[in-house]
Amino acid sequence: MKEKVLLAFSGGLDTSFCAMYLAKDKGYEVHTAIANTGGFSKEELKKIEEKAYLLGAKSHATLDVTEAYYEKSIKYMVFGNILRNGTYPISVSSERMFQAIAIIEHAKKINADYVAHGSTGAGNDQVRFDLTFEILAPHIKILTPTRDMVLTREYEINYLKENGVEADYTKMEYSINKGLWGTSIGGKETLKSEQTLPEEAYPSQVTKQEEETLTIGFEQGEICAVNGKKYTNKIEAIQAVEAIGSQFAIGRDMHVGDTIIGIKGRVGFEAAGPILIINAHKMLEKHTLTKWQQYWKDQLGTWYGMFLHEAQYLEPVMRDMEAFLQNSQANVNGKVIIKLRPYSYTLVGVESSFDLMKTDFGEYGEVNKAWTADDVKGFTKILGNQMKIFYNTQKRNNN
């Protein structure tokens, strides 16, 4: 009997090569699976399935993990206001962890001897897939032809053509990964530090010119309404914000960061939904959380985002950080008003019954209601004692 391989299959050039190579040249019984995290339409998934069978797959599975991706990752990234290096909403890297988990669970289900992926040796995904596979199924061996053979794009295209596959992979000037939490664009200009992506490289283009108001509602930190429409399905709410924001080409940027393997990496992205939701959420928190809640959330959010990006999702400390982030959201309730215009937006303000500005204690810069002038004088005197002591000591020792 042939040994069985489950290949993580996207239908792109690398995984197309792997599917045919493993079946035809290596003699494995190849099964394929795609883990959808919200980036594929039904039509696209159908075409990917057809391609898998064309390339020699014995079976193909479409694994929908969008709901799990939201519940176990996206909502915590919103709670933590996570933008890696202050820019990137960790779109692809967070998806990969849940795709890897779904793939290895399916490999166990079909009793695969091997699991395979098409990652190269120069990026982060190879670590995310390998590490997840090794932790969750150490008995299943890993195959990575693209990485091990150090293949060029031209070699793979020629191999497929020589074996009767005429699909034109040369038309793709950029590597585009689309998911529920944003779209990444890599290639050409992203490989050069002094260049940026041209307008036409972005999948979404400006279709609206007139300024428009967007309102986003939150309940315990989770998105619950868009422009007054209530959503019980959080995924649909995210998609609604994305559909509105992408018409203004909001959420475009270039992320520069450190890869897991130690080299610098650069990728373009567009993520109207994530950028608008995170920044609206952060503004609501400024009104509803205390100073120290915000401070410690910033610290943990940075660590949570870094660990998620660097393939550490299965580290138990992540569950501890999630518990903190979840607990911090009890009062993050209300509506955020945003003005949208081409390529930019303005956070106008919030409406919330938990707004800490709306109190009986006073109005900033205007009037104090809960203390007297003498109270402030005494407080200021005591507050300065430590510094007074320090400077007095310095003066004494310098004389």
**Shared-domain flag, residues 239 and 132:** no
**Shared-domain flag, residues 197 and 240:** yes
Torsion, Cα of 221, 226, 230, 233 (10° steps): -70
**Shared-domain flag, residues 392 and 243:** no
pTM value? 0.92
Whether residue 316 is contained in a domain is answered as no
DSSP annotation of 219: E
- Say what the pLDDT of residue 318 is: 98
- Say what the pLDDT of residue 263 is: 86
Whether residue 304 is contained in a domain is answered as no
- Say what the pLDDT of residue 149 is: 94
What DSSP element (H or E) covers 324? helix 317-327
**Shared-domain flag, residues 214 and 255:** yes
Which residues constitute the domain of residue 150? Answer: 4-172
- Say what the pLDDT of residue 22 is: 97
Count up the domains in the chain and report the number: 3
**Shared-domain flag, residues 184 and 85:** no
Whether residue 44 is contained in a domain is answered as yes
Other C-beta atoms lying within 10 Å of the C-beta of residue 162:
8
CA distances from residue 253 to 31, 249, 261 in whole angstroms, order as listed:
37, 10, 23
**Shared-domain flag, residues 31 and 122:** yes
- Say what the pLDDT of residue 92 is: 87
CA distances from residue 391 to 107, 377, 381 in whole angstroms, order as listed:
68, 20, 15
Cα distance between residue 177 and residue 171, in whole Å: 16
Q: CATH number for the domain including 59?
A: 3.40.50.620
**Shared-domain flag, residues 280 and 143:** no
Whether residue 294 is contained in a domain is answered as no
On whether the CB atoms of residues 101 and 144 are closer than 8 A, the answer is no
Q: In a structure prediction context, what are the per-residue pLDDT tens digits for the chain, which is 399 residues long?
A: 799 999 999 998 899 999 999 999 999 999 999 999 998 999 999 999 999 999 999 999 999 999 999 999 999 999 999 999 999 999 988 999 999 999 999 999 999 999 999 998 878 899 999 999 999 999 999 999 999 998 888 899 899 999 988 766 655 678 888 899 999 998 889 989 999 999 999 999 999 999 999 999 999 999 999 999 999 999 999 999 999 999 999 999 999 988 888 888 899 999 999 999 999 999 999 999 999 999 999 999 999 999 999 999 999 999 999 999 999 999 999 999 999 999 999 999 999 999 998 877 766 666 777 888 899 999 999 999 999 999 999 998 987
- Say what the pLDDT of residue 39 is: 86
On whether the CB atoms of residues 30 and 143 are closer than 8 A, the answer is no
- Say what the pLDDT of residue 372 is: 87
**Shared-domain flag, residues 23 and 89:** yes
Cα-trace Rg, the chain: 26
Whether residue 317 is contained in a domain is answered as no
**Shared-domain flag, residues 253 and 144:** no
**Shared-domain flag, residues 205 and 69:** no
**Shared-domain flag, residues 125 and 189:** no
CA distances from residue 59 to 55, 69, 230 in whole angstroms, order as listed:
11, 25, 40
DSSP-based three-state secondary structure for 196: coil
- Say what the pLDDT of residue 187 is: 86
- Say what the pLDDT of residue 54 is: 94
On whether the CB atoms of residues 36 and 5 are closer than 8 A, the answer is no
- Say what the pLDDT of residue 367 is: 74
Whether residue 150 is contained in a domain is answered as yes
Beta-carbon contacts of residue 309 (< 8 Å; ≥ 6 apart) = 84, 90, 93, 94, 124, 257, 260
**Shared-domain flag, residues 273 and 342:** yes
Boundary-marking domain end, from 135, 152, 172: 172
Cα distance between residue 72 and residue 76, in whole Å: 7
